[in-house]
Structure 1
Amino acid sequence: MSNVLSSQLEQNAKPVTLLAPIKLYDSFFLADEQDTVYVSQRELKEPMIVVHINEKRGHAFLMNIRGTLKKPIRVEIVDLIDAVESSELQKGETFQSTQSKTPYDQLNDNQKVKASLRLKIIESLVNDLDSVFYSSYRDGAITKVANENNLTKATIYRYLWAYLYSGMKLAALGFGVGEYANSVQPVRVLTKPQGRPSKRSKVTGIETRKIIDSTDIENFKFAIALMEKGGKGAPRTFKAAYDRMVPKKYAEKTVLLDNRQAYISGNEKKIHLKPENERPSFWQFKYWLEQTHGDGLVALRNKIVPHSKRHSDLNGRVGNAYVNVIGPGQRYEIDETPYDEEVLSEYIPGLSLGKPTLYVIRDVYSRYIVGFYLTFGNPSVFEMRNAIYQCLRDRKAWLESIGCADYLPYWIQMGPPETIAVDNAEFNNTLSEPLLKSLGVRVDFGKPRSGNDKPFIESVFTTLKRTKENTSPSHSGESKPEQRSNEARKHALLNRTQLYRDLMRECVHHNTKAINEHFHLEREAILDGVKRIPADIVTWSVNNMKSRMLPILDDRELRLALLPHGEVSVRQKGIYLKGQSQELFYNCPAIRLTGLQDRPHKGASRSKILSCRYDPNDISRIWINYKDEQYEAFIDQKYHRYEGMNQIERDELDALLILNEEEAHQEEANSKASLFANSEAAVKQAKQQIKQSGRISSTAQKVRENRKLENSLTDAPLEIEPNDTSLSDLDSGDNNKNNDSTKKTPWVDRR
């Protein structure tokens, strides 16, 4: 390294006589009116710098400044001087890259090691640059160095060009080389506010967030300085610091009230804050605190503790599809899949609805398709609940609801199973078991991202899609090019009812006609002439008492059992329904009589969590489960406005309330800002007055005597005689008969 530096110093120290106008790291730029300049038959299209000079041969080697560094080009110095004198090139000042300005001592340990290693590799080349510049790419010193260090020649060139580009500074090799040697790191520019939009913003369409800039950061620091200042009057919480900062830094205008208004209102000024999209919110301020202070935030406020992540006690059970199933109804499988058929609307002709989701339930023992359900909703517990109800309800009612009543003779009424294998996509531990617990059905979970635990339901999907895949022009293939093209959507033909009938034909064929050659019939079934057809297997098993299905439920009982499961928190002031976007409280006389809502004794929990069921479309009533009994609870009268409304309607009602109060939010903020400002002004004025009048020190006994004296000098409200004309001063009394004097009517004996 010392040889390189000394060589460079000697080269800079050589006296240049004829070549004095050209020096190392001089920069040259093209004239404004020219796009290309030719020097020594070399084409120059961009700004260049001199990285090496051979005085004996009269050559200068120029390297590009912009873009990826390339091998320097060789030009005659005389020609270069002529181009400058003819104004084809403009000579600039000595060029210095950003990396060359960084001292070696300021590099971190990794950068120092990297720089030293790279310089050691190219040291022999730097000491003899002529051998590099006067040789071809494939021959000479570069090839030798690359072979010695087991590197590519391109890597050696990148090290060398980056070193020359930076003015032979060792620190430059600690940074990027090649295309990164002179690249500019993009600066992140915020073009939209950070964070989620508020609920009000979604409803009103008015942006309530601000893009944080450097001015906001300085204001945040000012707020923290107020808090760290300490002492009396200093904000004690982050929210108070924010509230103190806002009127000082984000006031659009301050209106000074005249003496009369100030006397009436008790305030000296009224502050109008900037709109919400021009001032940061408290949550943006808090986010900056968390990013800036990190763990020190706890020490700064000492009341907030980081939120710990909750981990579920149960991560799902491992499925066991290959258990010994000995009868129909012992085990069902349910799953969903996107049905690859573009569907049209039944109500608006020609309106495309995309691909629906298909739910199917299948019996493991007989391979019988218990039922299916089509929906355009996203896969969820809600849709899974609808699918179970659709597949287990009365066959006649189900077939009539989907326009397939003529297929009733071909369907067998199946009851709930003992066990049902489900997917983790829609079911999880907190929702699945309570959903089917009242039916007496046990839930088995499949392994994540594995269909091996539900092989029979996975295979039936292919069966149900097989016909449409080969016959329908509106069937969307599984390949990516087919899905990206809209050919299937352009040729959509079927609506949902037509698709139901098409699936019905597939299921009837599978249940009543398709032979399962892999099924192993029992000896008695073979002797009875049973075929390996799912419907025949189910019928024979039921008739021979081999069915494991649970009792068939009435549609009303089944629906009640499948209503959404929720949780309530039984509190002293009411029964709170959890998991809703609104705060909903209920009253239940039976629960109150149990004593759960009594005031808890010391050390006992203040609330008790119970399970319940509710109708999402009408939350005016819920059914609470307590000690294997169901108690009906009614919504509190404060929330009667939500009666008969579903979640969407309740949200719309709340949105309307937000719209009604939109202007009030700004007025509240203005009033709050004025409150803080006037409070500070009052304290400041009181301090000035006390300085002028002085303070009389008193003992506790003297303070009590002073209070008695002050109380005796102050008239109590009841001691002041009311003014007879006080009402007439406030109201004209022309149309107010209540202000008329009472007329006494003489008493007359009418006996």
Structure 2
Amino acid sequence: MGRIKKGDFKKPVIFTSEQLIEHCRAYSLTAGEYALPPELSFSDKVLTARGRAEWIMRRDEKWALLRPLTSADLIEQYLFGDGINCEILAEVDSGGWANKSAYYRELNRYIALGMTKNALLPVGLKHIGTNSQFAQRTKRGRKPRFTEKQTRGICEADKKNILAVINVFKSAKRKFSIHNAYELFDAKYQRTEMLRDLGDGTQHSILVPYAKSDCISYDQFYYHFRRLINPETLAKVQHGHLKYAKDIAPRTGSARDGVLGATHRYEVDATILDIYVAYPYEAGLSVGRPVLYLVIDVQSSMIVGMYLGFSGPDWAGVVQALANACLDKVEFARRYGVNIANDDWPAHHIPNEITIDNGREYKDCLISSALKSLLGIKAVNLAAAYRGDCKGTVERKFGIVNDNLIHHLPGAIFKQQERTESHPSNDATYTYQQVVGILIHEIIYQNKSADRLKRLGFKAAIDGCETNPEAIYLHSVQNDMAGGRPTTAEDQARVFWAFLPEEEATVTDHGINFGGLEYISDHPILISMFKSAAKKRVKIPIKRLKDYVNHIWHCSDDGEFIRLELKMINNDSRYVCQPWEIAEHRLFEEKSITHDAKDKERYLRAERDTKIDALISNAADKSTFSTAKASTRKSMLPGIKLRKEEQQKQLREAEGAVLTRALMQPGDSQQERIADGDLYDIDSELF
């Protein structure tokens, strides 16, 4: 077979059967076999064993850029339809190869060599060395300033190598400068490896630069580098694709693109609040800085849900906030001592779409069939990782909450901490419940007061709708979304079960144990489980709200949702109304408390035993009775009953004497009491 080089493969020509026959006749073509390079059928393991690890790296780099264009639909459109020029330009703009011809070249190669990933292997590299590196015609260029030790003119191969160096910086995410790029170019393309005989039968490999007359200078490299790369690509190489897309690339779109109205799309994100929360079980301690999760309606920018936790940001907090966004806020606020009406925070609708980060902290379990089957949520949109600008609506809310509220509270961090100043954690004043209550009031204030004139639609303007997020939200729900999908009381358990992660609890004969706490229910299904658990304990699936330990949820085999209540004696528990993070910390702390109590009990037991030993020793010294002898009797000692009755009689007489003295009135003589002793003889009454 012939060698495979770049540019050897053109776009396949489409023939009908008649056209193909005519073409063969015109050029006297005959049928035959074409042997593809054997490397195309090799596995990565075989290629690596044959020293082709670099081939695999190059192949994977190309495949990562070409893969979006290799779907069956796009291949068919490329070969038989109107082409895929728009799709290729989109890939170029997104930071792929610098020009579309590279995509066409590799796509043609991919199709011609069997549409496999190995079609992109640089099999032509095995022929390196058979031709001179500088056999190509060079460009004369301008005359150099120095006549001695001139460099050669630049050629097309050099330009391709310059582009290859650029791609190295793009893929490797290395710190970039043109000087560093030239050094890499010089090291890769302007030096050779030589073997030097050391005289003892061994050889030493050394790198030797080419003569200057066989190289291009830094000035030549710089000049052509700036001509070969456009400013957009250069910015991507210098700053990275993420930073470019986030902070540098021009934007003309909006987060509301494709949104039909309020409740159509919710955005959710998290941030660590700049405040330390007080520990409720001991004054002067703090549980750290909490993580605030906010859910925003994209159309109106209204805050529709929240969750305050101490872990993350992670997927567990996201699902808690999403569940809160779909539920009634009156009951939620009441948990934290905040009494509000339905009109204060009228956000209890199920969205059509959700947008979250595509970061590692968000698990795939959020994108589950439960969202569609139980709630009818149509899509979960994943923003690019570390691309907060893709959720700009919710990102801006964090700054408002921190600047307008949190930074003015005790225990807040709002400036660079000086070493000589007291750390803000020492000033932690507000407990978790108080911080959540403060945030609820702040959210209601923001929803009712923020100016969102730019989000006001045409019909809303005609109807005289106010420009705050809440007014826009309510107007859009009624007019654009036909009332939306409000969550009813019956839907509450369904929302929990759709969003929250599934966990396991243990059924015992006296309750349900989960996370160190005990829950109870009078539901007949669970009552029957309690009875059977006396013989064998069983596991049941449950779901929980992480900000509230008072109850958890269980779904029975027939689909019935059952709420389990925290077991409390006399309506009191030291864990009641606490979030799970704080309750778990308290449970862990109680292990130390129990350990200390047991240690103290050991010392008290030793003290007790010492006193008992002393008492017995003193009694033995004063005793006139002889020590009992060892007995081999098998039956009970005789006379115990008679001796017991005699002992009781003596105790009654002693107790009667004490009672008589206590009832004796001042002035009464002892003789009178003796004479009338039968009036005060209460032994018969007592015994």
Q: TM-score, normalised by structure 2?
A: 0.36
- Larger fraction in strand: 1
Q: TM-score, normalised by structure 1?
A: 0.33
- Larger fraction in helix: 2
